[in-house]
Homo-oligomer: A and B are copies of this chain.
Amino acid sequence: MELIDLLQQQLLQDDLSEAITTAASMHPADVAEALQEVAIQKQAVFLAALPHRQAAEILQKLELEEEVLILNQIGPTLATEILREMSTDDATDLLAKLPKESSDKLILLLQEEGQGLRELLEYEEDTSGGLMATEFVAVREDQTVVEVLSLLRKQAPAADIAYYIYVVDHTNKLTGVLSLRELVVSPLTAEIGSIMMRDVVSVPEDMDQEEVARLFDKYSFLVLPVVDEENRLIGIITVDDVLGVVEEEATEDIHKSASISPLETNYANAGVFTLFSKRVFWLLGLIIVNLISTGIMAAYEDVLASVITLTFFIPLLIDTGGNTGSQSATLIIRALVTKDVELSDWRDVFLKELAVGVSLGLVLGIAGSCLGLFRGDLRVAIVVGLTMSAIVIVANLIGMILPFILTHLRMDPAVISAPLITSIVDAVGLLIYFSIAAWVFQFSL
């Protein structure tokens, strides 16, 4: 942390040459952290003064929004030089964020490399094609260990690219893989074809990034090759690129659970209008669902007017129902999203949640009737207790069933947010409440 503070101070005081010296012994991620409190102009001047490779490494560690601002500051010629030093996956992410005009200009200036980036830009951002880098080490089966070692010496690829050496045939089709470790411990004259593993796990170019992350987790791979529909090797994904994906997807799911549309940026970078628009339509939509509750209340106006005590328990009852439904929905959605539970498990899950719901219903029903006795009389206690049990059991099952139905319909179960469950359960809960009340108090409508 000390070096970060020192660099920050030097930059704020415009000690450019000292800052360059300090940064030389720092990890690019730490330099990027130091830059965060510094004005964009100063960041640009500093990065322009660094060796292009170092500037590229630091730039890759900044937020995309900042990268764009800095590129605009330093001008196209220098930007081109720095982009050339970035890994293709990061360069592509950056170009995708630029206005079409600027990115076209940079791609043109990048000439041959630019053409490769243009192709990468075609991939959807959240697929394996959008994640992959096109830097990798590929050799042929008939090469020997010593040939590949000398190739590595010549190419000097970045460390995380060289961990696996991919083997392709003359049409570039992926036929095998070997780890650098295997290469190192094999006899120098051995042919690659005799030591490589032929059973290569690869991912298609259009696989969803969440799926890719799950493969990394399942197989404990550090790198996965990406192939096109003809099994030709077109890129690699390293596990560190996926680490961010898992957190990003979790954030999106957490936001959805509270009825917030995906922000597409992090909270700190989201403006007031973005936050407003990602929330307002959900809130308005939920109001419409809530109108059902309002209607039910109006329909039972007579019951309410006669036993006003009953209204006291409305927030308590509908909240408890909403809470119970949110709990089961949250558990089931997360289990479905992480593939812990499959669609075909619905019967087991239903029975499990029925048992849990009945247990919860018993305990909460007793609690509810005690409160009823305290605020009202025996009849109120009976109504509140019975309603509480019924609402809890029903809400628990609604929270379980809806995510399964959505998954069955091939929709994202995470759309079943806690607020939506709450609104649905409210209406159902009020119906249960008034039905039981009407029955116990012998009202007729």
A interface residue numbers (CB < 8 A to B) = 25-27, 29, 61, 149, 152-153, 156-160, 162-163, 179-185, 199, 201, 213, 216-222, 238-240, 242-244, 246-247, 250-251, 253-255, 257-260, 266-268, 272, 275-276, 279-280, 282-284, 286-287, 290-291, 293-294, 297-298, 301, 304-305, 308-309, 311-316, 318-320, 322-324, 326-327, 329-332, 334-335, 338, 340-341, 345, 352, 355-356, 359-360, 363-364, 367-368, 371, 375, 392, 418-419, 422-423, 426, 430
How many identical subunits does the complex contain?
Answer: 2
Q: Which 8 A-B pairs have the closest CB atoms?
A: A250-B250, A258-B330, A267-B335, A159-B179, A293-B315, A323-B419, A297-B312, A162-B181
Shortest distance in angstroms between A443's beta carbon and chain B's nearest beta carbon? 15
Chain B residue contacts of A326, Cβ below 8 A: 258-259, 418-419
Secondary structure call for the A interface: helix
Contact partner of A268 (CB less than 8 A), chosen from B25, B255, B329, B340, is: B340
Chain B residues near A423: list those with CB within 8 A. 319
Cross-chain pairs A/B with CB under 8 angstroms, 8 sampled: A152-B184, A217-B247, A222-B222, A222-B239, A272-B355, A282-B327, A322-B322, A326-B418
Contacts of A359 in B (CB 8 A): 272, 276, 280
Q: Cβ of A341: which chain B residues have Cβ within 8 Å of it? A: 267-268
Q: In the bound complex, how far is the Cα of B288 from the Cα of A306, in angstroms?
A: 27
Q: How far is the CA of A291 from the CA of B283 in the complex (A)?
A: 26
> Beyond A185-B153, A308-B304, A364-B283, is A426–B319 a contact (Cβ under 8 Å)?
yes
Q: Contacting A315 at CB < 8 Å: which of B290, B313, B364? A: B290
Contact with A185, one of B156, B331, B352 (Cβ below 8 angstroms): B156
| Contacts A243-B242, A272-B356, A356-B279 given; does A254 touch B314 at CB 8 Å | no
Q: A267-B335, A297-B312 are in contact. Are A29 and B218 (CB under 8 A)?
A: yes
Q: CA separation between A253 and B201, bound complex, in Å?
A: 32
Complex CA–CA separation, A313 to B315 (angstroms): 11
Complex CA–CA separation, A341 to B332 (angstroms): 29
The distance in angstroms between the C-alpha atoms of A340 and B221, with both chains bound, is 28
How far is the CB of A180 from the nearest CB of chain B, in Å?
5
Q: Closest residue of chain B to A33, judged by CB? A: B218
CA distance A254 to B257 in the complex (A): 8
Chain B neighbourhood of A309, CB < 8 A: 298
Chain B residue numbers with a CB within 8 Å of A314 are 297, 311, 314-315
Chain B residues closer than 8 Å to A259, beta-carbon distance: 323, 326-327
Residue from B213, B239, B345, B371 within 8 A of A294 (CB atoms):
B371
Q: Is the Cβ of B290 less than 8 Å from the Cβ of A319?
A: yes
Distance A276 CA – B332 CA, assembled complex (angstroms): 14
Nearest chain-B residue to A154 (Cβ)?
Answer: B185
Contact (Cβ within 8 A) B287 A367: yes
Q: How far is the CA of A29 from the CA of B280 in the complex (A)?
A: 44
Distance (whole angstroms) from the CB of A420 to the closest CB of chain B: 9
Instruction: Determine the chain B residues whose CB is within 8 A of the CB of A242 once the complex forms.
Output: 243
Q: Which chain B positions have C-beta within 8 A of A338?
A: 247, 251, 266
Least CB distance, A15 to chain B, in whole angstroms: 22
A327 to B286, CA, bound (A): 13
Bound-state CA distance A182–B152 (Å) is 10
Q: Say yes or no: A244-B222 contact (C-beta < 8 A), given A250-B254, A340-B266.
A: no
Looking at the complex, which one of B152, B180, B330 makes contact with A257 (CB distance below 8 Å)?
B330
